[in-house]
Chain A
Amino acid sequence: MAVDIDIEHVARLARLALTDEEKERLREQLGLIIEYAAKVGEVAAEDVPPTAYAIPRANVYREDVPEPSLPQAEALANAPDQQDGRFKVPRIVEIEP
């Protein structure tokens, strides 16, 4: 059976503004895809350890030597908006009326 997904909630978590039409289509498609993907539960037994990386690498260190980093002007070069050497965004905090 297709899984029923709270699309509004997931879209809010993903910071995705979706149209009503998109929400409807995604509700239907994701329900079917998740139903199919849930097959993983058929074989994933208790005693099977999970694998995050096929070829495990742990704690890859390097010498703690400072290296040149991206110059400020280059870091800002692709920004949609900037001011005084900083990324500029619309307001973040509520303003008391």
Chain B
Amino acid sequence: MTDDLCDLTGSELAMKLDAGEIAATELVESSLARIEAVDDTVRAFLTRTPEVAQERAAELDAHRDTGAPQHAVAGIPLALKDVLSTMGIRTTCGSLILESYLPPYDCTAWARLSGHGSVLAGKTNCDEFAMGSSNENSAFGPVRNPWDLERVPGGSSGGSAAAVAAGEVVWALGTDTGGSVRQPASLCGVVGLKPTYGLVSRYGLIAFASSLDTVGTFTRSVRDAAVLLGAIAGKDPRDATSLDAPVPDYLDGIDAGVDRLRIGVVAEALGEGVEPGVRDAVRASIDRLAGIGAHVDDVSLPHAGHTLPAYYLIAPSEASSNLARYDGVRYGFRAAGGADSVEMMSLTRGQGFGPEVKRRIMLGTYALSAGYYEAYYGQAQKVRTLIIRDYEQAFERFDVLVSPTSPTTAFRIGERADDPLAMYLSDIFTIPANLAGVPAITVPCGFDQAGLPVGLQFTAPVLGEQVLFRAAAALERDLGLVLRPPILAGV
């Protein structure tokens, strides 16, 4: 079987575009045809934007004919998670409350990509307001995993992960508050990057938990993640939490390998609760890393057991505050029949939000309410300090840490839907990086007995993206996995 254009990586396609071997219009048609072929089944997209994409591609081809150089993201088909604001293009957050919301401005990440000639194929499905680990909390129905249509793609950025895995787009953006890029990337067999907190502007990212929210990337190679990050990173005056740090060329040194690199294996992450198929693939990959020159040893994050409880106080607390804005006044759905404004707001929120969002608003409201603040939110913030110290100590001895990305491979749709705590455990290995603000990347590292992809997570210190890419690229190169989900057998 030969690959279609949309199955190649962004880096390969940029070379073909540069050399004049293919046209941007040809590439966009390949992507749109794939969406037509598979998306009625996969359901990765909430809104498709074929006209926007075709128009942009035609402009790029006309521009290229003038001989002017183009950016590495120019012409490459992209999808955006539907929590990222796109001017005049419906942005729902997977919620009924924003079902017909048309943002009056673009988020900074998309504005930067668009400025470089990126081609938007559409907006992807996600758990409502990015709250979930399976994409089942979308008001518009679940996304299906291209590796097994009876299974979830992970979440919350499940649509972006599935779209990249199935070749509907070459790459995509998602958001990661507790693992919402890395966990679905792992379950769909693609590369998922959560950069350092504040490296990518949050302006126009519709807020879930502001101290944790991060824009991240889905790609089919580590190199593509480096290219895409380079295009969106950097200080933005519109986000006061964005970092004022220089943005390096992330491709610099990416092929340097792991010789003598100090890699710490997070001991707590290979114990109970990890599926045997995940453990085996992860252990084998760690052996491969040692085999190509890395110095591998165990490391402990002593407060790992307290990260999930801390997260489920901090994130819902911030969410309950951020989601107060959905009151049926300035935008979004308004319920009928409220006799006064307070009743109208309560009915609007009661009818407009789904079960998981209500659960987290209630949890956060309770944790912040008078008499409980110190015991819950205050204590959780102290745990956050302890987790940051754990990482600081670990990075005195190691350049990067590794662990499984998710304790399981893709689970069946419906399997955990009625047990919130079991669902929350999906993010046990990804949440620590959000609490500490450090960057992490997941790379496909093998398959379980059922043939479902397993991801290995690398974590680096704050602004350590370059060493992250270097280690991840070395593993990717050494494994040389072929990642072609079964759904593509028929296209």
Contacts and interface: CB of A to CB of B under 8 A. Distances in A.
A10 B362 contact: yes
A89 B344 contact: yes
Given A40-B379, A50-B381, A54-B388, A78 B462 contact: no
B334 A17 contact: no
Given A54-B436, A75-B104, A14 B241 contact: no
Interface in A20-60: 22, 26, 29-30, 32-34, 36-45, 48-55, 57, 60
Nearest to A26: B362
B197 interface: yes
Main secondary structure of the interface of A (DSSP, over half): loop
A89 B102 CA distance: 21
Interface residues of A, number: 53
Contact of A14 (B320, B332, B379): B320
Contacts of A75: 104, 330
A78 B330 contact: yes
A53 B435 CA distance: 8
Given A41-B375, A51-B381, A16 B309 contact: no
Contacts of B355: 22
Interface string B232-266: 00000100110100000000000000000000000
B331 to A, nearest CB: 4
A7 B365 CA distance: 11
A55 B359 contact: no
Contacts of A74: 104
B41 interface: no
A75 B330 CA distance: 8
A90 B338 contact: yes
A39 B308 CA distance: 10
A40 B382 contact: yes
Nearest to A74: B104
B268 to A, nearest CB: 14
A26 B358 CA distance: 9
A10 B362 CA distance: 6
Interface stretch (B171-179, B286-294, B346-354): B346-354
A40 B362 contact: no
Contact of B328 (A44, A55, A80): A80
B395 interface: no
A13 interface: yes
Contact of B198 (A15, A17, A57, A62): A57
A70 interface: yes
Contact of B437 (A9, A54, A81): A54
Given A16-B362, A44-B383, A80-B334, 15 more contacts: A7-B362, A10-B362, A14-B365, A15-B342, A15-B346, A17-B350, A33-B420, A37-B310, A44-B379, A50-B382, A52-B381, A53-B197, A78-B104, A79-B330, A80-B329
17 contacts: A14-B361, A15-B346, A16-B353, A18-B350, A26-B358, A30-B363, A40-B306, A43-B303, A50-B382, A54-B211, A54-B384, A54-B436, A55-B196, A55-B437, A74-B104, A89-B329, A92-B341
